[in-house]
C-alpha cells in the first residue's frame, strides 16, 4: 500500500492508523507510523479526534509515545470539537491511565499542561475530582505552581473538586502546593472556599486538614486585615 493510501478513511471515517491504535498490536501500529505521511498522522476527524485521542482513550502508552514522536505539537494538543473539547491528556486522565499520562506529560510544557476543556477544567481538575492520586502527583510535579489554582466554569479549583468528592489523600497533596494564604481563600461561584465546602459536607477530617494548613499560612490574620 502506498503511503498516501494509508490516509484514506473507511465508512466510519477511520484511517488505518485510527483503527490500529484502538486494537492492533503496538508493533503493527509502529509499522503504520513508519510508512504514513505526516499530514495523515496529524489528521483529525470531523469531531476533532486525532489518533492520539484514541490511543489516550484506550490507555495505549507505547502507542501514545510513538504518536508523540511523529505528531506536531499543534496536533498533539488539539481539542475535540464536541462539547467536552478534550485534549488527549484529559482523556488519559479520565481513564486513569497513569503510564499514558506520564508519556504525554513528559513532552508537555506549562502552557500545555494548563490547557482547559469545554468546562474550563485542567487535567488536574479531573484527576483531583476522581481521586486519582498517582496522576495528581505526576501533574503537580510538572505544572506551573500558579496553574494548580486555576478555576473551572463553576469557579472550583482542584482543591474544591477533591474536597467535594472526599479524597483526603489528594487534599493532602494539593495543600503541600499552597504558596500563600490567597490560595486557600479562593472562592467558587457559590462564594465558598474549599474549607467551607468541607464544612458544608460535614467532612471533619478534610476540614481539619485545611484548617491546619490555614493556620500555618496565617489565613486567619489575612482575613482580619482584609475586613479592616
pLDDT at 27 over 90: yes
Between 37 and 5, residue with greater pLDDT: 37
pLDDT of residue 220: 56
Secondary structure string (H, E, C) spanning the chain: CCHHHHHCCCCCCCCHHHHHHHHCCHHHHHHHHHHCCHHHHCCECCCCCEHHHHHHHCCCHHHHHHHHHHCCHHHHCCCCCCCCCCCHHHHHHHCCCHHHHHHHHCCCCHHHHCCCCCCCCCHHHHHHHHCCHHHHHHHHHHCCHHHHHCCCCCCCCHHHHHHHHCCHHHHHHHHCCCCCHHHHCCCCCCCCCHHHHHHHCCCHHHHHHHHHHHHHCCHHHHHHHHHC
100 and 118 share one domain: no
88, 108, 128 — which closes off a domain?
108
226 and 120 share one domain: yes
How far is the CA of 182 from the CAs of 146, 177, 200, in angstroms?
A: 11, 12, 21
51 lies in which domain range? 1-108
CA atoms of 156 and 39, how far apart (whole Å): 38
What pLDDT digit, counting tens, does each position of 156-207 carry? 999 999 999 999 999 999 999 998 889 999 999 999 999 999 999 999 999 9
21 and 70 share one domain: yes
Residue % of the chain over a pLDDT of 90: 86
Confidence of residue 5 (pLDDT cuts 50, 70, 90): low
CA atoms of 17 and 40, how far apart (whole Å): 9
- C-alpha cell read off for 54: 484514541
| pTM score of the predicted model | 0.91
Closest to 50 (Cα-Cα) out of 27, 18, 26: 18
pLDDT at 222 over 60: no
pLDDT of residue 33: 94
98 and 166 share one domain: no
180 and 150 share one domain: yes
pLDDT at 2 over 70: yes
100 and 156 share one domain: no
pLDDT of residue 226: 46
pLDDT at 99 over 80: yes
Confidence of residue 82 (pLDDT cuts 50, 70, 90): confident
pLDDT of residue 6: 74
pLDDT at 109 over 70: yes
How many structural domains is the chain composed of?
A: 2
117 and 102 share one domain: no
Q: Please, which residues have CB within 8 angstroms of residue 63's CB and are 6 or more apart in sequence? A: 21, 26, 29, 55
Q: Residue 222 is part of a domain; what is its CATH number?
A: 1.25.40.20
pLDDT of residue 225: 46
pLDDT at 228 over 70: no
pLDDT of residue 3: 73
82 and 183 share one domain: no
Average pLDDT value for residue range 38-44 = 95
Average pLDDT value for residue range 136-165 = 98
CA atoms of 198 and 59, how far apart (whole Å): 33
Instruction: Output the average pLDDT for the chain.
Output: 93
pLDDT at 143 over 80: yes
pLDDT at 4 over 80: no
108, 142, 161 — which closes off a domain?
108
What pLDDT digit, counting tens, does each position of 50-65 carry? 999 999 999 999 999 9
26 and 130 share one domain: no
108, 132, 149 — which closes off a domain?
108
104 and 15 share one domain: yes
15 and 89 share one domain: yes
Please return the burial class of 20, using the count of CB atoms within 10 Å of its CB with bins 0-12, 13-18 and 19+. Answer: buried
User: 179, 145 in Cβ contact below 8 A?
Assistant: yes
91 and 55 share one domain: yes
Which residues are bridge partners to 44 per DSSP? Answer: 50
Amino acid at each position: 500500500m502506498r503511503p498516501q493510501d494509508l490516509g484514506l478513511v473507511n465508512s466510519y471515517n477511520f484511517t488505518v492508523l485510527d483503527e490500529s491504535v484502538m486494537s492492533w498490536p503496538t508493533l503493527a501500529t509502529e509499522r503504520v507510523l513508519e510508512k504514513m505521511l505526516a499530514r495523515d498522522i496529524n489528521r483529525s476527524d470531523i469531531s476533532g479526534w486525532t489518533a492520539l485521542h484514541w490511543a489516550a482513550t484506550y490507555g495505549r502508552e507505547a502507542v501514545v509515545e510513538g504518536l508523540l514522536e511523529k505528531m506536531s505539537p499543534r496536533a498533539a494538543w488539539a481539542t475535540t470539537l464536541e462539547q467536552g473539547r478534550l485534549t488527549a491528556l484529559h482523556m488519559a486522565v479520565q481513564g486513569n491511565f497513569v503510564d499514558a499520562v506520564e508519556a504525554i506529560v513528559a513532552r508537555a510544557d506549562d502552557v500545555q499542561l494548563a490547557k482547559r476543556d469545554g468546562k474550563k477544567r485542567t487535567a488536574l481538575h479531573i484527576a483531583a475530582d476522581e481521586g486519582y492520586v498517582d496522576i495528581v502527583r505526576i501533574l503537580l510535579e510538572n505544572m506551573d505552581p500558579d496553574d494548580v489554582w486555576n478555576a473551572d466554569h463553576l469557579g472550583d479549583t482542584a482543591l474544591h473538586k477533591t474536597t467535594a468528592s472526599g479524597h483526603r489523600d489528594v487534599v493532602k497533596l494539593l495543600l503541600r502546593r499552597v504558596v500563600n494564604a490567597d490560595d486557600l481563600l479562593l472562592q467558587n461561584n457559590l462564594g465558598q472556599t474549599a474549607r467551607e465546602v468541607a464544612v458544608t459536607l460535614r467532612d471533619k477530617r478534610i476540614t481539619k486538614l485545611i484548617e491546619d494548613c490555614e493556620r500555618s499560612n496565617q489565613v486567619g490574620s489575612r482575613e482580619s486585615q482584609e475586613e479592616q
